[in-house]
Each structure stands twice: as structure tokens, then as C-alpha cells.
Structure 1
Amino acid sequence: MAEIGRRNLLTVSRSSTAGFYLDGGPLGDIFLPPKQAPDNCAPGDTLEVFVFHDNDGSLIASTQMPEVFCGEVATLRVTATSDVGAFLDWGLSKELLLPFSEQVGTVSEGRSVLVVVYQDVRGRLVASMRLDKHILDLAEGLRSGDKVTLTVGGKTELGYKCVVNHRFWGLLYDNELKRPLTRGQRLQGWVRRVRPDQRLDLSLNAPARQRAPDIAAAILQQLELNDGFLALGDKSPPEAIQRIFGVSKKAFKQGLSKLYKERRINIEERGIRLLK
């Protein structure tokens, strides 16, 4: 079954002088223009396509994929404005409409705007800058420690409001950051805590239980590069650990503890030594 605004695997059902038609299931035949079809395309072939509405309202398929799919958040450049709204470059020849009613502030040609893509009442794919209409405050299915994709939505008194996995709002606190963030910036993060009210507290640092194996591997790599000895240990200053491994002293010591328990290193007065 074909889904509008999504990546689909559809079968070529027939061809004509105008182009090809794909089996869209309940949506019926979906037209694929010849310029979008691969060489030697024939009925029975299965193609990966994006499905959306053409200017006349009919469904059309493209083997070219957009930068953002339905239900996702992205920063897109305004290519033009008109009486109906603004048009955004999202990677397809048919640009994405940002209606006047879905705009916030001044929208002008050349500006980049943070939007969510959704289907309007007519089923057309359009963009909205009014993220609160489409992003949920209460999280579902996420737990503390889950790795997530973050899109920065804006600054608050406590930190930055971020869109989590294109679906939920979460808060990234200032004390988690080394530098300011920008609206629309895409980051990898983790759920630090799911609060009793089902709202999310976020972090840019992996939970300790996930960091230790990675840091342990980095310690081993550094030891191998330095003939099996590293003048760094559990009593080293945090600045030295941060400079070499980019982690806190606590995380570094967790990595040391893991390697020591596995009998892969020996902790000496002057540093750590790799055990063969």
C-alpha cells in the first residue's frame, strides 16, 4: 500500500506512451513520469519512490527523494513568495508550499525556516512553522537512556526546546552544553529522564553505562599508539583527560575500571600500561 509523503516500494503495473503507472493499492494507479523511471523500466519492476500530489491534485511518484518526509522537521530555504504563501526547496522539482496561515514572523526569499511537513485537509503535503500544532508535549514509547535525534526549536530560560525524533518536545538544559545552539540545528542526543508528567529531559552525553565501553576502546587505542603506556590515570587532572579523550574524568575512570576488571591494563603510579 502506498503512503503519501513517504518512501515506498511499489510495483510497475503498466506502461503507456505518457509514462509508467505504479500499483498504489487502495490509492489506485500512481503515475511515474518517464524522466523519473530508471533505464529499461518495465511492468513487474519494483521501484523505491516518493508519492505526493501533482499541481492538478492527482498522485504522482518520483524516484528522487526529498530532504524531509511527511511528519518530519527540517530547515528549508525559501525560494519564492506569492499570494498563496512561500515556496520551499525540499529537493524536488515541485517545491513545497508554506501557506500564509502556517507562517510565523517575516518570511522572505532566501531565508531558511524551520518547518514540519504535514498533510492538509485535502491530503496535500504542505509545511508549517507552527510546530506546536504538530509536535506533542507528552512522550510515548521513550525511556531514560534512549538514543534520539534532536532538532533545536528555540531558546528558553532553562535551555533549549528540542524536537525529539520529529515527534515530541523535550528540554536540553544549559548545563549540558559547551556552546550555544542555533534554531534548526540537528543533533544526536539521549533521553536523560522521562518526568512524571511524561515530558522529556534531554542530554548530549550518552548514559554512563553506554559511554564506558566506548571510552574503554578509546583508551586501548591510545595505549597501542603509545607503545602500550599512557601517562594518564585516575589521578590525572580533568583538563588532561578532556583534551585527549573529550570526556569527563568520571567517564574516563569508568573506562579504566572496565579494562582493569577485564585484566587488559595495569594501573601504575605514573600511568596505565597495556597487558599483553
Structure 2
Amino acid sequence: MLKIGELNELKVLRKTDIGYMLTDGKEEVLLHNNETNFQKLEAGQTVETFIYYDHKARLAATLSKPIITTNRPGFVVVKDLHETLGVFVDNGTSKDMLVSKDFLPYDQTLWPQVGDKLYCILRHKNRLTAKPLNKVDIDLRPENPLKLGDKVTAYVIHSGHEGLNLITQEGHKLFVHHTQMREKHRMGEELEVRIARITPGDYSGSLIETKEIMMDKDAVMLEEFLKKHGRMALTADSDKEAIDAAFGLSKKAFKRALGRLYSERKVIFENGETIWIKGE
């Protein structure tokens, strides 16, 4: 019996005008020429195929390898949005899979956007759809533990009143309390999370960027220099090597700190120099 939503080992029965008929010994299914990945098959040959429903709801086969199946979850990328249906994700085959709006937040502003990642598994109930997995259903076992202060890329799997549940590509599960974020974040959104607390089997993180703290410190350093010297031969357009030599800052950090001083009307820029004006 054909396993829908799964990989099947099938035998090539015969060639047709539009493709190949495959069989498991009991049922037959069409492998269209467009789904052969340009392979030429011979009668009697055994091939590994993914069985799905085509756009006319007919069973079909493809030699393209799916990212997720009915027993193998994984990360899939959002390809399209449909406000009355849900979102469609790329499963590595010619047919994108629907994530029903039933599995998405009631607030559509928190729906995944194109390019976001969801951790899903296929679901077969009269048709194939993709279902996002929640924290308790995800059984990834990352090889390397995280450390306090680590910054990791993670994807939102649930957004609630208390905060966010996220998962890294490797499978680390994270929680960010609402006090550790400055805005709402949508399901599937990629975020950089700083690990703030570790308990057995659990990580808590923060989205409040440490760069904000560093910007304050860097701005104070520049302010003290300018108060003492009155000016410096550096601006946001200066070479990164010169900035590093003078203050040991990256150009990005230097621009952030300088921008802070400028927004506070403490400096002006003239002839390639930054000039201290506070108090004048």
C-alpha cells in the first residue's frame, strides 16, 4: 500500500507519454516527466519516491526529496501567505505545503512572513498539510550545550502573553520572558537571543541587545575624549582601521556611539572632524 506523505521504494512498471507508472505491487501511481529530475528510468528499476497529492488532488510521485514527511519533522521556509487559508512552506518539491490558519496565531500580524522558518511535520487527513510543532513535541537533541552570554540564532515557535518559545537550528529550546523583549515578534521570525539563565534542560534568553549597553559605554568613552581634546579627526565616514587604532572599536560600534552623541546635540561634524559643542 502506498505511504502518502512518505518516501516509498517503488518499481518502474512502464513508460508512458507523460512519465512513468510506478507500483508497490498493489497500487500504481504516476511519476510525471517533470518530477523525474531529468532521470531516465527503465522498466523493473526500483526508485525512491515521495508520494503526495498534486494540484488536482490526485496521488502523484516525485523523485525530489522532501524536507519533511509524516514521520520526519524539520525546518521549512515560508514561501507565500494566504489570509483565508494560512501560509505555504517549501518542502523541497514542486508542491508547497499549506500550514492551516488553525495552527497560526489569531492575530494575523503575528503570522510568519515570507522567508521565515517553521519547524513542522506533515499531516495526512484526506490531504497533506504541514503542522508546526510546539515545544513538547520537538525531540531534537543538540550536541553542544549553550553557555551564559552566548548569542544564538533561534526561531519563534510560539508567542504568548508570558513571552516567546524559540528553537535553534540545532534544537536548543529557549524561552524569552516578555520583560526581556521590546516589541512583539511573529511566529517563525529569526531572532538573535542572548542566553541569560540556564537551568537543567532549559535556557532563558533576552532580546534586549547588549549593544545598547555597549553603545552607552562607547558613547561615554568618546564623550570623555572630546571633552578633553575638543575635537577628533574621525567621523562616521572614517576608515575602520583608523577607528580601531584610536579607540579599539569596530566601525559599526563607533557609528552607534557617535550617533548617540549627535542625537544629544553634543557634537557637530566639520571638514572631516568631530567637534565637541556641548556647553558652548
Q: Give TM-score, length-normalised by structure 2.
A: 0.48
From the CA coordinates, give the structure whose radius of gyration is larger: 2
